Amino acid sequence: MGIDDIKSIGVIGAGTMGAGIAQLAAQAGYKTFLYDLSGGQLTKGLEGINANLSKAVERGLITDSIKAAALSNITVTEDISQIVVDVCIEAVVERLDVKVDLFEKLAAQNATDCILATNTSSIPITRIAAAVSNPERVVGMHFFNPAHIMKLVEVISGAATDKAIANTIYQLALKMGKKPVYTKDAPGFIVNRVARHYYVEGLKLLEENVADHETIDALLESSGFKMGPFRLMDLIGVDTNYSVTSSMYESFHYDSKFRPSRIQQQKVDAGHHGRKTGQGFYSYK
């Protein structure tokens, strides 16, 4: 499947990341199907896309006609059987079993050359592809939050990924206005491997009562970082960040320097997932 063969894209998961990816696909001119189990989440996702596009119009970045064209390219559905497309991009929960089950279903109802791309932050592409038919078409396409703004996209090849497929996804990212980079299938890939300790060490300081989270954020921001680790976790999603840390902890054979924080786990257990729930390390209510 080459870049010129792609006419339709299915995005699985209408959360913050999935909705942002669907917006990018639609703006790039592709017939886009946005799927989620929850009709309420689909409604919320579509409202978010509309709001993002409206802001872009207000800022003079796009015209009303471009906004209308992008929205007309999007079809929302709660029926996964409608996802018969050229490229599937999953943006669901960061769990291997869920992603494998999803790709098995998509592989069964799509052509053998349909590209299966995962937005995973840390789960090895090789492990996801191993249980899927034609594993050479499974590739990582990792966007960053917010997907419609952040430029970087990691294109990750697993052990079986066809180089031509990785190149097609690279070209697709370019068409979406992104700056893609190729990376190997290593724990955390590039960004999460490098950035993980920004969160982990901040959480250790909090656990050890060295300072409160506001002070830690203020210190890092005064040092030149745009956002402190706690503000950034709230933006990304405390639950998502915790899942990535847990996955990397396992991938590095439980090396203590990747140990997830009990404070972060407590936040997740309480449903304090950051901006998206109105409460994280900070309150957004």
Q: Which are the catalytic amino acids? A: 121, 142, 154, 192
Choose among 247, 233, 223, 225: nearest CA to 276.
Answer: 233
- Helix, coil or strand: residue 154: strand
**In this structure, what token pair is assigned to residue 118?**
């995962």
Contact of 82 with 60, CB cutoff 8 Å: no
Pairing of strands 138-142, 152-157: antiparallel
**How many CB atoms lie under 10 A from the CB of residue 33?**
24
Q: Say what angle helices 238-251 and 229-236 make with each other, to 10 degrees.
A: 100
Which residue do the tokens 């990792």 mark?
Answer: 142
- Helix, coil or strand: residue 69: helix
